[in-house]
């Protein structure tokens, strides 16, 4: 209130001085009333912007005042109402301003504005304080910037966190005890001065994963910070359940390693494996085993099992090798039995060491070897025979070679149709230059030359066609690879006055392969040749005798037991049989009346005399077949 009185006294003094003409004219009371501060708060946009501080007040020129001032009343007794301050929504409150109504004077042009203020110490205040009016204007509060508010919040939070961290926060990290011995829990509790009783042990549990006294579970997760009084519960393993039943294997068929794997997999609690030397049981195999306080049928993890495995033979003593060169193999065998070593005999030819004597050993004489080891002994088979290249040798050359000194081998011949001269060697089973033992068997193949069918152009005319078929069978019997066939390939039978006997050959020709061209039967025949013939039905012009009635014939299992058996059946019953060679399969397979039967099959078929039978035979039957006694008939393949 003292500040208010001074202000009003000063104003009253100045007004009084003006009346006395001591000060210049006062234009308006506005010259003495401080301009109200206008504070405008702008609406904040969606994005926050800092609040602008109000600009300091400046006294504007009277003619440029942004707000019109109220007129001063003519009568000084009536106080002029002071305009209310402009309210702006949500703006800080303005400072309080005191306004005193002043009597408006007529303007005096002669008055000097400088006389308005006069330092007159005799002024005692306004004429009347009744004219004074107090208008309360709220002072705006000072606002903090957002950065300041955030800084204060951070500092407060940091202070609170520091207090919490120092006096209340847990600082002891919880380790991961799972899989560790339970003793590590006690050590940790002592090191971190945990309060007594905060670490509790839960009842132990059976576990296949963890051994006895190993931690399997903890109540506080690893890595979490705890206080010295935080309760912690630890669960440890009691090991695997000793009463759990386990399937007992066949120990005698398991190796030592397999038994240990089985033991470890099932975590047997009372298992013992020992080893000992054995000359009969191989190393690593079971010698014996024993089951105690239980049985194999009710075997549990806690049952006692003792197993003894072999370490193999006991360490043997050393043996010095003798010099056996030139000695008989029998002497080596006797020495080996006495020294408890094994011998392995290997034979080879030698031109200097007699047959049956030792050439060398794999260990040098005078060196040592362990009992039970193997000594390899090279024994002579004699000088041997070096085979020449026999291909191209004639029969005379072969006789001369066999008569030579040292050529003591056995020669076995096989024959094959070939364009080489008859008797010439065309193959051998052992390569030329090979050294073979004396008395060895050598297989040689010599040429039969190619089949010779005729000696003149009419050799087979007038002969019975079955004689021709027999000749074909003889040729194929010597070498089935030529596979020559004979049949009525050049036409059906017809009458002939030249060859009036039925069955006589009245014409024939030869074909090579599947050619239909009749090109005669030159000498010699090619392989796979076919001989076509035409036979006579009797003389022409004379009525042929009635065809004989075909009789019924029974063919069964025994008739196809071999090639010779089916050939005999066909010949004796006048059957039209065709033959085809095969590299494998049953000895004989026939096709008759649309059905197939093979050697060894049980069957019985009723056929007619002269029916066609297709015969397929194995070229290398299990049981050699003797040559047929008569000539079978043949028909073309397919």
Mean pLDDT, consecutive 10-residue stretches, the chain (638 aa), reads 55 74 53 49 46 46 46 44 47 46 48 45 51 61 76 82 70 90 90 85 90 91 88 92 92 92 92 91 92 91 94 84 91 91 89 87 90 90 86 90 85 90 91 86 91 82 92 90 88 91 90 61 82 92 65 86 88 87 87 85 84 86 50 41
342 in any annotated domain: yes
- Whether 259 and 292 map to the same domain: the answer is yes
- Whether 34 and 106 map to the same domain: the answer is yes
261 in any annotated domain: yes
Q: How far apart are CA 22 and CA 490, in angstroms?
A: 176
- Whether 102 and 113 map to the same domain: the answer is yes
245 in any annotated domain: no
Other Cβ atoms within 10 Å of 400 Cβ, number: 11
- Whether 111 and 52 map to the same domain: the answer is yes
Cα dist from 237 to 210, 212, 270, 271, whole Å: 6, 5, 18, 20
- Whether 340 and 389 map to the same domain: the answer is no
SS3 272: strand
pTM for the complete prediction? Answer: 0.32
- Whether 223 and 202 map to the same domain: the answer is yes
pLDDT given at position 49: 45
CA 206 to chain centre: 37
- Whether 293 and 359 map to the same domain: the answer is no
Sequence-ordered list of residues with C-beta below 8 angstroms from that of 2, at least 6 positions apart, any chain: none
CA 429 to chain centre: 49
Other Cβ atoms within 10 Å of 87 Cβ, number: 8
- Whether 368 and 397 map to the same domain: the answer is no
Q: How far apart are CA 311 and CA 277, in angstroms?
A: 5
- Whether 6 and 82 map to the same domain: the answer is yes
373 in any annotated domain: yes
Domain holding 226, by residue range, is 172-236
pLDDT given at position 255: 92
pLDDT given at position 424: 93
- Whether 9 and 133 map to the same domain: the answer is yes
SS3 188: helix
Q: 631, 466 in Cβ contact below 8 A?
A: yes
Query: Which of 501, 532, 547 is the endpoint of a domain?
Result: 547
Q: Are strands 304-310 and 342-348 parallel, antiparallel or unpaired?
A: unpaired
Query: Which of 119, 138, 157 is the endpoint of a domain?
Result: 138
- Whether 429 and 339 map to the same domain: the answer is no
157 in any annotated domain: no
pLDDT given at position 490: 85
- For 157, the token pair is 């939070």
CATH of the domain at 438: 3.30.10.20
Q: Are strands 374-380 and 358-361 parallel, antiparallel or unpaired?
A: antiparallel
pLDDT given at position 135: 63
582 in any annotated domain: yes
Sequence-ordered list of residues with C-beta below 8 angstroms from that of 279, at least 6 positions apart, any chain: 313, 314
pLDDT given at position 134: 61
Q: Which of 532, 471, 458, 469 is nearest to 499 (CA)?
A: 458
159 in any annotated domain: no
Sign of CA dihedral 178, 184, 186, 188: negative
Count up the domains in the chain and report the number.
Answer: 7
Q: How far apart are CA 617 and CA 564, in angstroms?
A: 10
270 in any annotated domain: yes
- Whether 80 and 134 map to the same domain: the answer is yes
Query: Which of 547, 572, 589 is the endpoint of a domain?
Result: 547
pLDDT given at position 198: 84
Q: Which of 386, 373, 382 is nearest to 347 (CA)?
A: 382
pLDDT given at position 405: 81
Q: What is the DSSP string of 365-408?
A: TT-EEETT-EEEEEEE--S-EE----TT--HHHHHHHHTSTT--
């Amino acid at each position: 209130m003292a500040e208010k009185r001074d202000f009003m006294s000063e104003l009253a003094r100045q007004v009084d001085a003006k009346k006395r003409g001591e000060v210049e004219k006062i234009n308006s009371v506005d010259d003495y009333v401080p301009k109200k501060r206008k504070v405008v708060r702008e609406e904040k946009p969606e994005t926050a912007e800092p609040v602008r501080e109000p600009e300091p007040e400046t006294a504007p020129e009277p003619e440029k005042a942004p707000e019109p001032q109220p007129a001063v009343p003519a009568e000084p007794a009536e106080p002029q109402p002071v305009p209310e301050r402009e309210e702006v929504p949500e703006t800080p409150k303005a400072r309080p301003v005191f306004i005193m109504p002043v009597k408006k004077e007529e303007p005096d042009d002669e008055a000097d504005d400088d006389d308005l203020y006069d330092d007159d110490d005799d002024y005692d205040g306004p004429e009347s304080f009744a004219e004074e009016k107090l208008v309360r204007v709220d002072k705006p509060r000072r606002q903090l910037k957002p950065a300041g508010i955030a800084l204060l919040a951070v500092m407060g939070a940091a202070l609170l966190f520091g207090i919490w961290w120092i006096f209340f926060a847990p600082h002891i990290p919880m380790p991961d005890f799972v899989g560790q011995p339970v003793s590590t829990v006690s050590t940790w509790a002592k090191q971190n001065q945990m309060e007594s009783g905060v670490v509790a042990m839960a009842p132990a549990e059976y576990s296949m994963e963890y051994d006895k006294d190993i931690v399997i579970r903890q109540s506080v997760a690893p890595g979490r910070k705890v206080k010295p009084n935080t309760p912690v519960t630890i669960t440890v393993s009691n090991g695997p359940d000793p009463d759990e039943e386990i399937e007992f294997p066949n120990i005698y068929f398991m190796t030592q390693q397999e038994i240990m794997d089985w033991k470890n997999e099932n975590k047997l609690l009372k298992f013992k494996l020992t080893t000992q030397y054995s000359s009969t049981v191989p190393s690593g195999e079971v010698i014996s085993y024993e089951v105690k306080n239980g049985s194999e049928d009710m075997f549990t993890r806690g049952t006692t099992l003792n197993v003894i495995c072999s370490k193999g033979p006991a360490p043997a003593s050393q043996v010095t090798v003798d010099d056996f060169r030139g000695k008989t193999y029998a002497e080596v065998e006797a020495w080996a039995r006495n020294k408890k070593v094994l011998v392995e005999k290997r034979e080879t030819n030698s031109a200097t060491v007699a047959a049956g004597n030792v050439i060398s050993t794999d260990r040098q004489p005078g060196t040592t070897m362990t009992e039970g080891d193997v000594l390899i002994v090279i024994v002579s088979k004699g000088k041997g025979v070096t085979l020449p290249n026999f291909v191209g040798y004639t029969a005379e050359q072969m006789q001369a070679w066999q008569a030579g000194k040292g050529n003591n081998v056995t020669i076995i011949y096989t024959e094959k149709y070939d364009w080489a001269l008859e008797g010439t060697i065309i193959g051998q089973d052992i390569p030329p230059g090979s050294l073979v033992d004396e008395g060895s068997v050598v297989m040689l193949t010599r040429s039969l030359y190619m089949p010779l069918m005729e000696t003149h152009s009419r050799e087979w005319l007038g002969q019975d066609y079955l004689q021709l078929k027999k000749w074909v069978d003889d040729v194929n019997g010597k070498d089935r690879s030529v596979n020559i066939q004979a049949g009525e390939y050049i036409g059906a039978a017809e009458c002939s006055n030249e060859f009036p006997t039925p069955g006589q050959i009245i014409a024939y020709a030869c074909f090579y392969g599947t050619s239909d061209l009749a090109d005669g039967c030159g000498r010699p025949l090619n392989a796979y040749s076919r001989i076509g013939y035409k036979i006579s039905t009797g003389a022409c012009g004379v009525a042929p005798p009635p065809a004989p009635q075909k009789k019924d014939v029974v063919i069964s299992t025994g008739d196809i037991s071999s090639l010779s058996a089916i050939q005999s059946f066909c010949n004796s019953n006048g059957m039209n049989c065709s033959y085809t060679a095969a590299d494998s399969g049953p000895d004989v397979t026939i096709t008759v009346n649309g059905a197939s039967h093979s050697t060894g099959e049980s069957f019985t078929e009723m056929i007619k005399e002269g029916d066609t039978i297709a015969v397929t035979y194995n070229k290398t039957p299990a049981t050699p077949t003797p040559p047929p006694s008569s000539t079978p008939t043949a028909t073309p393949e397919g």
